[in-house]
Amino acid sequence: MSDDSNTPTSRARLRVRQVSLDTGRENVVVISRHSRALRADIFRGFSRVELQTGSKVLLATLLITDDDTLVGPDDVGLSEPAFQRFCEPLGASVTIGPSASPESLDAVRAKIQGQVLQSAEIEAIIGDVTHYRYSDMEIAAFLIGSASFMTSGELIALVKAMANAGTQLKWSNPIVVDKHCIGGIPGNRTSMIAVPIVAAHGLTIPKTSSRAITSPAGTADTMEVLARVDVNVDEMREIVAACRGCLVWGGHVNLSPADDILISVERPLSLDIREQMVASIMSKKVAAGATHLLIDLPVGPTAKVVSSAEAMRLRKLFEFVGDHFGITVEAIMTDGRQPIGRGIGPVFEVEDVMSVLANNATAPADLREKSLRLAAHLLEYDPQLRGGAGYARARELLESGAAMRQMQAIIDAQGPSNCRTDVGKLTFDVLAANDGTISEIDCLRLNRLARTAGAPIDKGAGIRIFGKIGDHVEKGQPLYRIHAYDRSELDLATSAAKANCGYTIGAEPPMIGEITP
């Protein structure tokens, strides 16, 4: 509501100051309780305000201080993110006033009341979200209001609005392939094998990946052990020009920025809404300029998708959106019953990946096979390649060392990262409590344990897996080893593993062993 009562006609002016507060995604400003601009008693702590100078407006959450050394009565203090987003110099003169909600919130309320939204309304909502005009609770209102139903028209409008809100990559090649996994499976680093295979073959595959938000590693976190991943759009274009492929963090490239903001509210609420997941993924792929997209849908009792019926619904939705945007989409169901490979956490996952690329005899077979299978699908997007020849070609590129050379070229092009990459020396072995066959592994649980141990912030924290489903183990035999840099993190992960280690042997959940040095 752009209420005219907010016209800043005669508002007193404040000077912009910075306050050393990191407030994440949220814009926060601080004024003095004795502020000369507007009496603080009209505002309340955590109410929404707007700063204005010329035509520039910043919506923010207000804090009020009695401490004049923090913010004086003539000043307004901007938290770090707000200061960066407002882009006004220190000392700049602004007005502050109570902020009405963004106008597009009317559409959110209409949606909550069961109405179908027009494309322009969805575009306005996404525009306001992208420009940080929505508070957390307003974003939650949009997400939950849309949760009960979203028409196919609304879904298309949402993808389009999200894709248009950020960087849109264009490529000269007629075929640009991409892959995406909906996530949830520990150790599932197939991109780091499939991308070099596909690039070695000659297809363009400009892969952007996410960092972990609630998991122990995203592909970007793992790739960062080997190379810099926070490249900008121009650098990404250069890398792809040189190597045909890349493995970079999507965050710096600013693809579908609204998505990151929506996810920052979805995640803490653990909302799991099919249409929103599809919109999130497809908006990034549309913006990335992909023409062919392979989607990995792991299905398993502790995966994100627990039934093939649900996977089928998702597949139809991905295909529908892909068709609309002229993207050939293939969504395939994969085995999501347990972790892939033997490592969870960046350093351990890199060991698995490099072992596969190096064709080591001891490389994890499941990671190798899955990566080859996905690469095969991707390669068959090449019209030059005979139908059915993808797998053999993928294997050829892997076994000949071409994939490894391509990976090395990508690493060199992205340049070195300077993060710590040693394995965590503090360890705890989780032992089988009885003899038997491993029947279940809880992916959620292992993800959480690895994260508690410090991954992905600590690259060398995580889990090294010794036993997988179907393996026979004897009582006291180690199932996996938790690694950490930090004693308190190890202790936290250890006590969590003691409460529930995530493995089922036969029908009995296993008990826990003792701490190793």
Residue with smaller CB distance to its own copies, 273 or 333: 273
Q: Considering only residues 28, 29, 176, 229, which one is a binding residue for its own copies as defined by CB under 8 A?
A: 28
Question: How many C-alpha atoms does 316 have within 13 Å on its Cβ side?
Answer: 6
Nearest to 59 by CA among 122, 6, 5: 6
d(CA 163, CA 257): 8
Tell me: does residue 151 bind its own copies (CB under 8 A): no
Cβ proximity to its own copies: between 39 and 56 the closer is 39
Per CB under 8 A, 495 contacts its own copies: yes
Q: How far is the CB of 353 from its own copies (least distance, A)?
A: 25
CB of 400 to its own copies, least distance (A): 41
User: Tokens 């020009």 belong to which residue?
Assistant: 241
Q: Nearest approach, Cβ of 247 to its own copies (angstroms)?
A: 23
For CA atoms 110, 112, 118, 122, the dihedral sign is positive
DSSP state of 138: H
| Distant-in-sequence, close-in-space partners of 301: CB < 8 Å, separation ≥ 6 | 337, 440
CB of 178 to its own copies, least distance (A): 28
Is 52 among the residues that bind its own copies (CB under 8 A)?
no
In whole angstroms, what is the distance from residue 18 CA to residue 260 CA? 25
Task: Verify binding: residue 499, its own copies, rule CB under 8 A.
Answer: yes
Considering the complex, what minimum distance in angstroms separates the CB of residue 374 from its own copies?
Answer: 32
- From the list 79-87, 196-204, 283-291, 464-472, the region that binds its own copies by CB under 8 A is 79-87
Among 139, 278, 350, 397, binds its own copies (CB under 8 A): 139
- Interaction between residue 48 and its own copies (CB under 8 A): yes
* Binding residues with its own copies: total (CB under 8 A): 72
Single out the segment in contact with its own copies by CB under 8 A; choices: 356-364, 382-390, 429-437, 485-493: 485-493
Tokens of 307: 């039934």
Asked if 29 touches its own copies (CB under 8 A), the answer is no
Q: Can you spell out the DSSP letters for 243-254? A: HSEEEEEHHHHT
- Binder to its own copies among 89, 91, 137, 361 (CB under 8 A)? 137
d(CA 356, CA 360): 6
C-alpha angle 313-316-321 in degrees, rounded to nearest 5: 130
Nearer to its own copies, 101 or 130 (CB): 101
Six-digit token string for 305: 């998708």
**CB closer to its own copies out of 266 and 382:** 266
CB of 456 to its own copies, least distance (A): 10
User: Does 70 interact with its own copies (rule: CB under 8 A)?
Assistant: yes
**Residues from 275 through 334 that contact its own copies (CB under 8 A):** none
Contacting its own copies within 91-130 (CB under 8 A)? 101, 105, 109, 112-114
Residues 141 and 177: their CA atoms lie apart, in Å, by 35
Verify binding: residue 511, its own copies, rule CB under 8 A. Answer: no
Site residues for its own copies, window 171-230 (CB under 8 A)? none
Q: Residue from 2, 10, 55, 362 that binds its own copies (CB under 8 A)?
A: 10
Residues in 447-466 at the binding interface with its own copies, rule: CB under 8 A? 448-449, 452, 457
> What's the chain's length in residues?
517
- 141 contributes a contact to its own copies by CB under 8 A: yes
CB of 10 to its own copies, least distance (A): 4
Q: Which of these ranges, 61-69, 171-179, 278-286, 472-480, lies near its own copies under the rule CB under 8 A?
A: 61-69
Under 8 Å between Cβ of 130 and 261: yes
Burial label for 129, CB within 10 Å (0-12, 13-18, 19+), is buried
Catalytic (active site) residue 272:
yes
Rounded Cα gap, residues 216 and 457, in angstroms: 8
HSE (side-chain half, CA atoms, 13 Å) at 14 = 28
- CB environment 153-192: b (16+ within 10 A), e (fewer): ebbbbbbbbbbbbbbebebeeebbbbbbbbbbbbbbbbbb
Least distance to its own copies from the beta carbon of 419, Å? 12
| Residue closer to its own copies, measured from CB, 15 or 33 | 33
Choose between 423 and 496: whose C-beta lies nearer to its own copies: 496
Please, what is the minimum distance in Å from the beta carbon of residue 493 to its own copies?
A: 7
Cα Rg, the chain, nearest whole Å: 25
Residue 154 or 178 having the CB closest to its own copies: 154
* Catalytic pick among 272, 323, 412, 422: 272
Query: Which two three-digit tokens encode residue 216?
Result: 């122990």
| Strands of 317-384, DSSP E | 328-335, 343-344
Smallest gap, in angstroms, from Cβ of residue 47 to its own copies? Answer: 7
Contact set for its own copies, span 250-269 (CB under 8 A) = 265, 268-269
24 contributes a contact to its own copies by CB under 8 A: yes
Alpha carbon distance 437, 445 (integer Å):
19
Interface region with its own copies, contact rule CB under 8 A, candidates 139-147, 219-227, 358-366, 475-483 = 139-147
The answer to whether residue 45 forms part of the interface with its own copies (CB under 8 A) is yes
Choose, by CB under 8 A, the member of 147, 233, 332, 469 that binds its own copies.
Answer: 147
For 224-364, where are the alpha helices, taking DSSP H only? 233-243, 250-253, 257-269, 274-287, 308-324, 346-357
Answer positive or negative: Cα dihedral of 309, 315, 316, 318.
positive
Q: Is 514 in the site for its own copies (CB under 8 A)?
A: no
Residues recognised as catalytic: 272
